[in-house]
């Protein structure tokens, strides 16, 4: 066995350190080893930050403690929880040196060899650097522990990391106080046994997946409901009120009856579906929040802590969360609908966001999701979204599909300031100018689209086919509806636009669609929250149509 084999076999994630100082030359040699690691596209995106301050260590330790407590609550097994709480999973304050290994995602602002196909490739380079540092320290008689149980957003704030710098975690460096009996610490403490040999399987065949070819310019004939609609309008007008006195409620009642094709419409098993995905354009600083917030918010949805959870609970609406393409691997037992196309789209500043095959797969996934919801007996479906950078994607799509200048389609999204808003606008204008493809719907959607937006569009078209009421949330969802309406204009009959958002472009888009939103509350949260908040008004429309007396049966004289 070679010396390297010995190091690899004995290497441990160190959690117990002596008080010995770490010589400067040891650190420099380890950092040089990290610098020698492979760097995708020779970007040199990996950056290092040394921590010696007790104050900084204490702040990081507090962040760890908060999330460690949260982690312990993820198991319902009392024995496992007790065992987890007994583990020492960090040595932030005990280790002489703290090291932050981070990667600069702003390198993706320029075309980078090796990143097309995976926006995470730059991160992978930094992981290689971490591995090299770990090996170098071990060879020199020192150790390193990787602390990842942290709120990364708060972590970046307390150490003043620039918005474009993404940390892999906090690393503890020092002289190991034990060799853990020459085995992984978690194995020594009977948490789990590491397998003796690598798991390797030879792949000998390929699987060809047939993706249905969606018609992006289909012509759909309208259903003839003239006689029924007159009966429905007569019923509304016969209620004990002046004609039109209930305003938009009367329009909604007519729409309910028309969509469900009955004079006594009843909303059944309402469901709001939140589609989540990441966007390559987010790497160019078009959002006030880092991309990882998409993943964090999906966890928040799953844990019941988001606004959409609260409003769905309030109104007894089922909530479904879809992983359309989040840049993260969720546990397979998460209560998610798995529809991941890829870990985020590519940056359309340089290349197509997705292939046309991926675009068609988005529509197929959206269709399948709504088909399954329709099978539950649901006849009312709301659409929501989550994805850092998706207002940029939506703005470009709106500009291309309506002909409006991009500056009229760009908004603050998650809250960018005026200077950054202008930067966002310039980036999107440049992306449009870089586009050399044809003005065909499918090509434009593939080049500039987002996975969650395309899946929503496919889902909306399918909801129409099932005679479902389609609740449309804010700006991004309205752009998805714009796409769906280009493919089937009749879908407008089924759409309820729940609110007009604080994004200026949303009002302009609603005017373009001829839509009359129910609410104007200055919302700009997304998640489908507008759908949930507007839902009681739909129930009021249903109630008055079904329960309110007519002039005849109440014995009230007409005008």
Same domain? For 524 and 390 the reply is yes
Q: What is the pLDDT of residues 519-546, one digit of tens each?
A: 999 998 999 999 999 999 999 999 999 9
**Which residue range forms the structural domain that includes residue 352?**
268-534
In a domain, 363, yes or no: yes
In a domain, 258, yes or no: no
In a domain, 436, yes or no: yes
* pLDDT of 53 above 60: yes
Instruction: Say which residues have a Cβ less than 8 Å from residue 101's Cβ, sequence separation at least 6.
Output: 34, 46, 47, 48, 126, 129, 130, 133, 167, 168, 169, 171
In a domain, 229, yes or no: no
CA dihedral 53, 57, 58, 64 (to 10 degrees): 170
Q: Give the range among 76-85, 456-465, 513-522 with minimum mean pLDDT.
A: 76-85
In a domain, 16, yes or no: yes
Instruction: Give the helix, strand, coil percentages of the chain, each rounded to 5.
Output: 50, 10, 40
Q: Give the range among 119-128, 232-241, 374-383, 384-393 with minimum mean pLDDT.
A: 119-128
Asked if residue 446 lies in contact with residue 352, where contact means CB atoms within 8 angstroms, the answer is yes
**What pLDDT, on the 0 to 100 scale, is given for residue 557?**
65
Three-state DSSP state, 253:
helix
**What pLDDT, on the 0 to 100 scale, is given for residue 42?**
77
Same domain? For 147 and 275 the reply is no
In a domain, 17, yes or no: yes
> 42 or 557: whose pLDDT is higher?
42
E strand residue ranges, 303-456: 318-325, 337-338, 380-386
Same domain? For 183 and 328 the reply is no
Same domain? For 129 and 9 the reply is yes
Give the helix ranges, DSSP H, for 488-528: 504-513
Q: What is the mean pLDDT of residues 333-340?
A: 92
Measure the CA–CA gap between 143 and 7, rounded to whole angstroms: 11
Give the helix ranges, DSSP H, for 36-110: 54-72, 78-86
Mean pLDDT over the full length of the chain? 90
pLDDT above 70: percentage of residues in the chain = 95
Instruction: Say which residues have a Cβ less than 8 Å from residue 417's Cβ, sequence separation at least 6.
Output: 288
Measure the CA–CA gap between 121 and 124, rounded to whole angstroms: 5
Measure the CA–CA gap between 459 and 371, rounded to whole angstroms: 8
Identify whether 527 is a catalytic site residue: yes
Measured CA angle at 94 (ends 89, 97), to 5 deg: 100
Helix 441-448 to helix 475-487 angle (10° resolution) is 150
Q: Give the range among 249-263, 332-346, 401-415 with minimum mean pLDDT.
A: 401-415
* pLDDT band at residue 290 using 50, 70 and 90 as cut-offs: confident
Measure the CA–CA gap between 413 and 301, rounded to whole angstroms: 20
Asked if residue 231 lies in contact with residue 254, where contact means CB atoms within 8 angstroms, the answer is no
* pLDDT of 449 above 90: yes
Three-state DSSP state, 276:
strand
Same domain? For 156 and 280 the reply is no
Q: Which of these is catalytic: 527, 542, 547, 552? A: 527
In a domain, 553, yes or no: no
Neighbours of 88 (CB within 10 A): 11
Same domain? For 362 and 481 the reply is yes
Measure the CA–CA gap between 162 and 160, rounded to whole angstroms: 6
Same domain? For 152 and 21 the reply is yes
**What pLDDT, on the 0 to 100 scale, is given for residue 365?**
96
Measure the CA–CA gap between 91 and 288, rounded to whole angstroms: 33
* pLDDT of 178 above 90: no
Same domain? For 278 and 407 the reply is yes
> 312 or 205: whose pLDDT is higher?
312
Among 144, 171, 189, the domain boundary falls at 189
Same domain? For 61 and 155 the reply is yes
Q: What is the mean pLDDT of residues 185-201?
A: 81
**What pLDDT, on the 0 to 100 scale, is given for residue 211?**
64
Q: Give the range among 70-74, 110-114, 239-243, 277-281 with minimum mean pLDDT.
A: 110-114
* 184 CB-contact burial (10 Å; exposed 0-12 / middle 13-18 / buried 19+): middle
Among 189, 220, 243, the domain boundary falls at 189
* pLDDT of 147 above 80: yes
**What pLDDT, on the 0 to 100 scale, is given for residue 477?**
98
Measure the CA–CA gap between 297 and 2, rounded to whole angstroms: 47
Measure the CA–CA gap between 363 and 383, rounded to whole angstroms: 15
In a domain, 244, yes or no: no
Length, in residues, of the chain: 559
Q: What is the pLDDT of residues 393-432, one digit of tens each?
A: 999 999 999 999 999 999 765 566 677 788 899 999 999 9
Q: How far is CA 329 from the centre of its chain?
A: 12
> 153 or 375: whose pLDDT is higher?
375
Q: What is the mean pLDDT of residues 228-257?
A: 93
Q: Give the range among 123-137, 186-200, 390-404, 437-451 with minimum mean pLDDT.
A: 186-200
Q: How many domains does the chain have?
A: 2
Sign of CA dihedral 431, 437, 438, 442: negative
Q: What is the mean pLDDT of residues 506-520?
A: 96
Q: Give the range among 289-303, 315-329, 392-406 with minimum mean pLDDT.
A: 289-303
Same domain? For 158 and 292 the reply is no
At 340, phi and psi to the nearest 5?
-65, 125
* 118 CB-contact burial (10 Å; exposed 0-12 / middle 13-18 / buried 19+): middle
**What pLDDT, on the 0 to 100 scale, is given for residue 210?**
67
Q: What is the mean pLDDT of residues 375-404?
A: 97
Q: What is the pLDDT of residues 60-83, one digit of tens each?
A: 999 999 888 888 887 788 888 888
Instruction: Say which residues have a Cβ less than 8 Å from residue 278's Cβ, sequence separation at least 6.
Output: 119, 291, 294, 325, 326, 327, 343, 344, 345, 387, 388, 389
**What pLDDT, on the 0 to 100 scale, is given for residue 1?**
47
């Amino acid at each position: 066995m070679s010396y390297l084999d010995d190091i690899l076999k004995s290497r441990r994630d160190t959690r117990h350190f002596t008080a010995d100082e770490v010589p400067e030359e040891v650190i420099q040699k380890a950092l040089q080893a990290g610098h020698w690691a492979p760097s995708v596209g020779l970007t040199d995106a990996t950056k290092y930050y040394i921590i010696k301050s007790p104050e900084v260590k204490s702040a990081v330790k507090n962040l760890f403690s908060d999330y460690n407590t949260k982690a312990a609550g993820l198991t319902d097994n009392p024995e496992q929880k007790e065992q987890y709480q007994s583990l020492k999973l960090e040595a932030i304050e005990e280790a002489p040196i703290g090291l932050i290994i981070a990667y600069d995602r702003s390198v993706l602002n320029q075309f980078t060899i090796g990143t097309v196909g995976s926006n995470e490739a730059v991160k992978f380079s930094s992981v290689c650097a971490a591995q090299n540092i770990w090996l170098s320290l071990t060879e020199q008689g020192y150790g390193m522990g990787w602390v990842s149980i942290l709120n990364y957003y708060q972590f970046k704030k307390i150490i003043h990391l620039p918005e474009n710098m993404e940390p892999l975690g906090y690393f503890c460096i020092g002289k190991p106080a034990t060799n853990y009996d020459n085995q992984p610490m978690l194995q020594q403490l009977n948490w789990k046994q590491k397998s003796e040999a690598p798991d390797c399987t030879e792949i000998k065949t390929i699987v060809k997946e047939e993706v249905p070819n969606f018609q992006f310019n289909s012509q759909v004939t309208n259903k003839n409901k003239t006689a029924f609609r007159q009966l429905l309008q007569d019923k509304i007008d016969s209620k004990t009120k002046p004609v039109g006195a209930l305003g938009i409620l009367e329009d909604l009642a007519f729409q309910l009856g028309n969509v469900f094709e009955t004079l006594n419409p009843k909303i059944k098993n309402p469901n709001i579906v939140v589609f989540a995905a990441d966007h390559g354009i987010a790497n160019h600083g078009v959002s006030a929040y880092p991309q990882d917030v998409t993943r964090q918010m999906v966890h928040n949805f799953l844990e019941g802590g988001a606004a959409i959870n609260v409003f769905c609970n309030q109104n007894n609406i089922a909530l479904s969360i879809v992983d359309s393409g989040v840049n993260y691997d969720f546990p397979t037992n998460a209560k998610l609908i798995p529809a991941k196309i890829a870990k985020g789209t590519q940056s359309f500043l340089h290349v197509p966001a997705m292939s046309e095959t991926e675009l068609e797969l988005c529509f197929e996934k959206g269709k399948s999701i709504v088909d399954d919801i329709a099978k539950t007996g649901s006849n009312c479906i709301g659409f929501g979204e989550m994805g850092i950078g998706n207002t940029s994607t939506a703005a470009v799509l709106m500009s291309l599909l309506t002909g409006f200048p991009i500056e009229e389609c760009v908004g603050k999204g998650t809250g960018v300031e005026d200077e950054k808003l202008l930067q966002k606008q310039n980036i999107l204008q440049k992306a449009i100018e870089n586009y050399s493809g044809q003005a065909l719907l499918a090509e434009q959607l593939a080049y500039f689209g987002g996975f969650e937006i395309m899946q929503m569009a496919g889902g909306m078209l399918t909801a129409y086919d099932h005679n479902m009421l389609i609740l449309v949330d804010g700006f991004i969802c309205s752009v998805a509806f714009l796409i769906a309406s280009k493919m089937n204009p009749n879908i407008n009959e089924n759409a309820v636009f729940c609110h007009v958002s604080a994004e200026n472009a949303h009002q302009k888009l609603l005017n373009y669609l001829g839509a009359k939103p129910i609410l104007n509350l200055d919302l700009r949260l997304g998640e489908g929250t507008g759908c949930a908040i507007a839902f009681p008004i739909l129930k009021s429309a249903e109630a008055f149509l079904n329960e309110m007396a007519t002039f005849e049966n109440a014995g009230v004289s007409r005008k």
